[in-house]
Structure 1
Amino acid sequence: MATTGLKQLSNALATLDQISNSSSSIDGVPSDLEMSIRCAGAQLTQAAGVLLGLSQDIIAQAIVIFTRFWLGADGGSLRIYSAKDVSAASLYLTAKLSFLPTSPRSVLNVYTLLLSQDASPLWFVNPRGAPVQPPAPETYVLSEGGYQAARLTLLRIESIILRALGFDTHVALPHAIALTYLQTLGATKPGVARRVVEHLNAALLSPQLLYVTHQPNALAVAAIYLAAREEGVKLVDANWWEVFDVDREELGFLVVAMRSLEGFVRKETEQWKGKKIPLVVDDLESEIERRRMMDEGE
């Protein structure tokens, strides 16, 4: 029983080979472009989950499943599967497995809005920014025929994700663990708990893929360490992180990675300013061709 309980608090982590040799990279997708699309896909999943009224734990699990799908040579390739479709299917699948399932129509209606170049509030979809005046309904409302086609795609991608993951949809999150650790450490200041949760949610966008390379207890410890420093809260003098089975080297790496996220997102925003990040296969192919032509001076 104890072994089963511990297993529920941990995840199967990605190997170095899976991280460095994704199916997308094998298919010739530049690493920086792949990183941008993964980050945008995670943000898309987050926004869709919020609009669907899903809890943050469901949304976070969906983002982790979305991230896992692209890992390794056996994972999905961005030149075959559109990131927007994998995002929608990941969210639909995770919600279906939870206490708060949502219908295909609800999911697809939300994604149609978020992916509309006229109505979307997302900067990487609609570079012009959220519209001041309400856009025409036909720019963000699915027709019945469009819904039926999109529903078939949603269910097909869901089955592809399940096969790619070996039907292992278990995702242990660090949020509850972190709050338990805070109580153990006697850090009861509300601001610390708030910052811990903010760091853990932001880490879902990490270019280092922290949620698939580190166990939840390590993520929780790093978020606590960082939040306590930011809020000026002194924790115990001893190397308290070792009590939670985290060594100094891992803690240092995670703290640096979490602190770098703000700069990474800012850099992404500047790099793609005025352009949309390609979340559809055809758009990805156009971006790869554009880069090829620039490299060749055409």
Structure 2
Amino acid sequence: MAPPNPGLTHLSNALATPEQLSASSSSIDGVPSDLEASIRCAGTQLTQAAGVLLHLSQDIIAQAIVIFTRFWLGADGGSLRIYSVKVNKLPSDVSAAALYLTAKLSFQPTSPRSVLNVYTLLLSQEASPLWFVNPHGAPKQPPSADSYTLTEGGYQSARLVLLRIESVILRTLSFDTHVALPHTIALTYLQTLGVTDSAVSRRTVEYLNSALFSPQLLYVTHQPNALAVAAIYLASREQGCKLVDGEWWEVFDVDREELGFLVVGMKSTEGFMRAETEKWKGPGKTIPLVVEEVDAEIERSRMMQEGE
């Protein structure tokens, strides 16, 4: 990761280098880039949903998603053919470990049992409300408790995996768990610009939250101040709020080229999510969340390309 600005360490992040973005460990191991993006996106959604069910604040959830995303970057990062979003038959792996680790370092620590109970529910094909786990959607009738309850033996096994993957994440990130978020910065910028419309503030935060799911990995390629400026730009135009004349974004150390890239990236996230839903919709089509499923999907794609 490229080091942050030494004078603004608490407001900036270590960013992914071009080498890390162009060659991940997964791609080196033969995982197609589109499949990697789908799995990473599903893991991000899983982390978000788990954080909400655990009643964690959005800033903790966002930090966990950034940690989860960083783990897969570069040749030294995690590979989807070695690690996975979940362990087969166990509700714990990189997503759960990233959320547990981030919460533990925050003012809202949560227990391994709570984390694993929530992931057991979210990864249950009968009880999960997540579209990529349960194609039928949230059940209309309460499912059997056995479908989303961990046994004591299952909990002990999953807990060991959770703690092991937590240590793997820490080693992979060289114990750098600092994540600066753009949300507070954006609200400060809005005050500086004299914007008092609550609808603009709300929409700005919504853009920042949706950018966590961006296929361009905006949170690991751009600093928080640039993300904040792009979200304000979009929100103000959408709400018809006129800002100060001139290229105001330059005051916040963002040039026109970077702003343009981020605006396009943030606007494209919704379309990407819709495309993902369509891509994996249908009988027998599920996003592979375990190593064995990833291997099977790669083999299936290879056979289709070769016409076997």
Name 2:79's counterpart in structure 1. 77
Name 2:104's counterpart in structure 1. 96
Aligned-partner Cα distance in 1 for 2:210–2:171: 28
How far did 1:5 drift?
6.5
Aligned-partner Cα distance in 2 for 1:279–1:57: 25
Identify the match of residue 303 of structure 2 among 288, 293, 297: 293
How far did 1:83 drift?
1.5
Name 2:245's counterpart in structure 1. 237
Name 2:169's counterpart in structure 1. 161
Aligned-partner Cα distance in 2 for 1:6–1:296: 52
Could you give the per-residue CA deviations for residues 128-187 of structure 1, whole angstroms, max 9, x where no partner exists?
Answer: 211111111111100000000000000000000000000000000000000000000011
How far did 1:103 drift?
0.2
Name 2:287's counterpart in structure 1. 277
Q: Greater shift after overlay, 128-137 or 259-268?
A: 128-137
Q: Structure 1 stretches (4+) deviating beyond 4 angstroms?
A: none
Name 1:129's counterpart in structure 2. 137
Aligned-partner Cα distance in 2 for 1:127–1:182: 41
Name 2:272's counterpart in structure 1. 264
TM-score (norm 1): 0.98
Give, as a single letter, the amino acid of the residue that structure 2 aligns with 1:245: D
% of aligned pairs identical? 81
Aligned-partner Cα distance in 2 for 1:165–1:204: 19
Aligned-partner Cα distance in 1 for 2:209–2:7: 24
Aligned-partner Cα distance in 2 for 1:254–1:265: 17
Aligned-partner Cα distance in 1 for 2:207–2:249: 17
Identify the match of residue 190 of structure 2 among 182, 189, 199: 182
Are residue 224 (structure 1) and residue 232 (structure 2) matched? yes
TM-score (norm 2): 0.95
1:123/1:276 contact within 8 Å kept: no
Aligned-partner Cα distance in 1 for 2:114–2:239: 40
Unaligned residue ranges in structure 1 (runs of 5+): none
Aligned-partner Cα distance in 1 for 2:143–2:303: 35
Give, as a single letter, the amino acid of the residue that structure 2 aligns with 1:263: G
Name 2:89's counterpart in structure 1. none
How far did 1:51 drift?
0.1
How far did 1:278 drift?
1.0
Aligned-partner Cα distance in 2 for 1:138–1:61: 32
Name 2:55's counterpart in structure 1. 53
Name 1:37's counterpart in structure 2. 39
Name 2:10's counterpart in structure 1. 8
Aligned-partner Cα distance in 1 for 2:205–2:280: 28
How far did 1:4 drift?
6.7
Aligned-partner Cα distance in 1 for 2:211–2:291: 26
Could you give the per-residue CA deviations for residues 180-208 of structure 1, whole angstroms, max 9, x where no partner exists?
Answer: 00000011100000000000000000100
Give, as a single letter, the amino acid of the residue that structure 1 aligns with 2:229: V
Unaligned residue ranges in structure 2 (runs of 5+): 87-92
Are residue 114 (structure 1) and residue 116 (structure 2) matched? no
Identify the match of residue 70 of structure 2 among 68, 71, 83: 68
**CA RMSD, aligned part only?**
1.0
How far did 1:279 drift?
1.2
How far did 1:234 drift?
0.3
Aligned-partner Cα distance in 2 for 1:292–1:256: 33
Are residue 28 (structure 1) and residue 35 (structure 2) matched? no
1:116/1:139 contact within 8 Å kept: yes
